[in-house]
Amino acid sequence: MISLKEAAAYLQTNDNYIILTHQYPDGDTLGSAFGLCKMLQQIGKNARVLYNGQLQDRFAYLANGVSEQSFTKETVISVDVADKALLGELIEYSSRVELCIDHHSIHRQYAKRSYVDPTAAATAEIIYLIGELLGVEYTKDIADCVYTGVATDTGCFKFSNTTLQTHEIAGRMIQSGCDFARINKDMFDTITKAHIAIEQKALETLAYYVDGECAVMYTTKEMCTRCGATDDDIEGLSSVPRKIVGVRVGITIRQKGDDLYKISVRTNGGVNAAEICSIFGGGGHPAAAGCTIDGTLDKVIERLVAAAAVALKNSRD
């Protein structure tokens, strides 16, 4: 493990950087990647961002201000990637990652050097601090990226991982001109008709386990097709089960393949979501984590409920 200053110093030693994000990219990994990319370009480096699949429409603004650059002999960096398995389609780069910048409490070492701070509410907080050490100017385009990262990973500053530093960084980004009102609206207060339709279908699957303390709901590929729902439309469903009074573990299951499911776990009351997901090779944070599981839907639910029961028991011991 290296220090924050050493991470910033390393970013000044090379000229060409590729920045990797994790699979199913969210606001923090994308905000961190594009924010760092713009910072590096500002100090005279070449940099570009690689991500899995296509950039979702609601995140397209994060690429504003990035200069398209082509280069070879690149240095590979990853941001917000707690395990090389989470690189997804970018796994071919896993053995070449020179620097990983992350904030997950469960982090499996894979980079040649890493800076990991689990006290940071988002990796974007760390990117901001690195920018300070690099002496960058926080333009509107950079501010939009950093703000997006901290806002999305704290549920618009509602989650327990939010700290004074989180608010201070958000305030600095507002001072720098970030379009916080639009970002908040787009990230948290805008849904499509397809989202409403798929949420209705998902709620029909909602079931309670472990004396009502665990709630599980799911979406299938067939349901998404019938509702015309994209991955973007499904975003936000993971927060629904946790909102129910008495539920301490909320699990949302999304079918990705014939026997492949993406799992989102959200918890209340001191139950460790990362503990549940780590059993299946995933990870995340104490109150929000994820993983991917192979198997039939019934078997996936059975395994998740068993893991949730253990985590609930551990929270009381």
One domain, residues 138 and 246: no
Q: Which residues span the domain enclosing 129? A: 4-188
Answer yes or no: is pLDDT of 54 > 90. no
pLDDT higher than 90, residue 231: no
Locate 273 and state its tokens. Answer: 């979501």
Question: Does residue 317 carry a pLDDT above 80?
Answer: no
Is residue 51 a contact partner of residue 25, using CB atoms and an 8 Å limit? yes
Higher confidence at residue 57 or residue 28? 28
The per-residue pLDDT for 70 is: 85
Domain count, the chain: 2
How does pLDDT run across 18-52, given as a tens digit for each residue?
Answer: 999 999 899 999 999 999 999 999 999 999 999 98
**Beta-carbon contacts of residue 270 (< 8 Å; ≥ 6 apart):** 315
* 258-312 per-position pLDDT tens digit: 999 999 999 998 999 999 999 998 888 889 999 999 999 999 999 999 999 999 9
User: What is the reported pLDDT for 147?
Assistant: 99
Of 121 and 285, more confident: 121
Q: Does one domain contain both 39 and 156?
A: yes
Residue 181 sits in the same domain as residue 211: no
Contact 58, 187 (CB under 8 A): yes
Average pLDDT on 194-207 reads 98
The model's pLDDT over 131-182, given as tens digits with 9 standing for 90+, comes to 999 999 999 999 999 999 999 999 999 988 999 999 999 999 999 999 999 9
| Last residue of one domain, picked from the residues 155, 188, 221 | 188
Computed over every residue of the chain, the mean pLDDT equals: 96
Phi first, then psi, for residue 262 (nearest 5°) are -95, 130
Together in a domain, 181 and 206: no
Cα–Cα distance measured from residue 47 to residue 217, given in angstroms and rounded to the nearest whole number: 40
Structural Rg of the chain based on CA atoms: 19
Q: Please report the pLDDT score of residue 269 as a whole number.
A: 86
Same domain, 174 and 91: yes
Say what the pLDDT of residue 283 is.
84
The CATH number assigned to the domain holding 47 equals 3.90.1640.10
Q: Do residues 50 and 164 both lie within one domain? A: yes
- Cβ-contact 274, 283 below 8 angstroms: yes
Report pLDDT for 106. 86
pLDDT attached to residue 232 = 84
- Residue 69 has a pLDDT of 87
pTM of the model: 0.91
In the three-class reduction of DSSP (H, G, I as helix; E, B as strand; rest coil), residue 296 is classed as coil
79 and 220, same domain (yes or no):
no
- Helix H segments across 110-230? 123-134, 140-153, 164-175, 180-188, 193-203, 221-227
Residues 175 and 207 in one domain: no
Domain final position from 169, 188, 207: 188
